Amino acid sequence: MTATETEPVTTGDVVLEADGLTKHFPVRRGLRDLFTKERKAVHAVDDIQLTLRRGRVTALVGESGSGKSTVARLMAQLYGRTAGDIRLHGETITVKGGRGFRAYCRQVQMIFQDPFASLNPVHTVRYHLTRALKIHGRAGKGSAELEQNLNALLLRVQLTPPERYLDKFPHELSGGQRQRVSIARALGANPEVLLADEPVSMLDVSIRLGVLNLLRDLKERLNLAILYITHDIASARYFADETLVMYAGRMVEGGDSETLTQNPAHPYTRLLIESAPDPDRLDRVGDAKDAPEDTAGGEPPSLIAPPTGCRFHPRCIHAMPKCSTELPPRFELPIVSGEGEHWAACWLYEEGAAK
């Protein structure tokens, strides 16, 4: 049983946290490297702090290669971490597979970008959902109860009437319907956390909003904590309560989504917003074609030898000498309206620095 079934859940309760989360991928040594002692690594994710709360969506935004998917995979325990802590209900968790992994998956489920790749083409919707229910001990007693539970899952993701979908194969469904089946499969575990890695970027623009609205509905009805990974800061503003911005493996700014998108502080966040599609055109949310890497000036750095100091300094028009040598800590920023927090890891916000 999950906490959902045993005790009342309050919106805002912390479920899953990352503290100092770091992942370096070792680079395979070439012939030339055999003569040196140096061991190279891709510094994909460094020192990430992240808190997921019941009934809240947290967006993780950044351009391609900034480390967003690696964070999601670390939080899902699909990758081992190089350093840092992952806490579920305050307890440090390291899962290596087997039973421990299954127990963790009961509470933390992941949804992938490509629903076609994540569903097995030779199996029906019924098979995928039955398997999820059985693995997590939620199939019920007997076939009538199983049928009821299958129907309930499809109703939850608004695939109605359920009988129309249960015996379909993935290729007989549209992209949006397939993503709904993936979400239903994740819900089969009755999780507390959904880690959604670009859940709408491969879908037709016309159906993206429907899938985001479904996730929002699930957040509210089931009090889920959702991590929403996206290239598109406009969709984060629309969908997420809190937004965190990543650049080259590090978090550079965070705060409540409205405050952060209305008053972006870090020069990289400003660049993301300038190059994002118009947030009022919600029919384009999650559009990977509008991803900032297509329009932002300069190139992201190599993560094998990332820049010292602030990783954004080689592209930053405000860079000061200190930015290339010292890593900026988080500076708390004043909240212009409403409540919540807003911070930026940028030396511009050190007391006394010229803006």
Q: Give me the residues that bind ligand ATP (CB under 6 A), please.
A: 25, 42, 44, 62, 64-70, 303
Strands 331-332 and 225-230: unpaired
CB of 65 to ligand ATP, least distance (A): 4
Minimum CB distance to ligand ATP smaller for 44 or for 224: 44
The tokens describing 261, both together, are: 């998108």
Secondary structure E strands in the chain: 14-26, 41-53, 57-61, 83-88, 91-92, 108-111, 193-197, 225-230, 242-247, 250-256, 331-332, 342-344
Q: What is the DSSP letter of 10?
A: -
Choice between 301 and 328, CB closer to ligand ATP: 301
Q: Do residues 305 and 326 make contact, with C-beta atoms less than 8 angstroms apart?
A: no
Q: Closer to ligand ATP by CB, 188 or 277: give it.
A: 277
Measured between alpha carbons, how far is 5 from 258 in angstroms, rounded to an integer?
A: 33
Distance of alpha carbon 150 from alpha carbon 120, whole angstroms: 18
Nearest distance from residue 317's CB to ligand ATP, in Å?
A: 23
Strands, sheet with 193-197, edge to edge from the N-terminal-most edge strand: 108-111, 193-197, 225-230, 57-61, 242-247, 250-256, 342-344, 331-332
| Shortest Cβ 87–ligand ATP spacing (Å) | 21
Q: Which is nearer to ligand ATP, 70 or 223 (CB)?
A: 70
Whether the CB-CB separation of 227 and 21 falls below 8 Å is answered with no
For residue 239, how far is the Cα from the chain centroid? 13
Q: What are phi and psi of 311, to 5 degrees?
A: -70, -15
Q: Which is nearer to ligand ATP, 26 or 340 (CB)?
A: 26
Q: Which is nearer to ligand ATP, 189 or 244 (CB)?
A: 244
Cα 204 to chain centroid distance, Å, stands at 20
Nearer to ligand ATP, 28 or 37 (CB): 28
Least Cβ distance, residue 273 to ligand ATP (angstroms)? 18
Distance in Å, CB of 41 to ligand ATP, minimum: 9
Min CB(29)–ligand ATP separation in Å:
14
Minimum Å distance from CB 28 to ligand ATP?
Answer: 9
Q: CB of 304: closest distance to ligand ATP in angstroms?
A: 9
Label residue 253 exposed, middle or buried (CB < 10 Å: 0-12, 13-18, 19+). buried
Q: Which is nearer to ligand ATP, 232 or 256 (CB)?
A: 232
Q: Give whichever of 9 and 44 is closer to ligand ATP, judged by the CB atom.
A: 44
Q: Give the C-alpha separation, 313 to 321, whole Å.
A: 9
Smallest distance from ligand ATP to CB 196, Å: 13
Cis upstream peptide for 161 (omega within 30°): yes
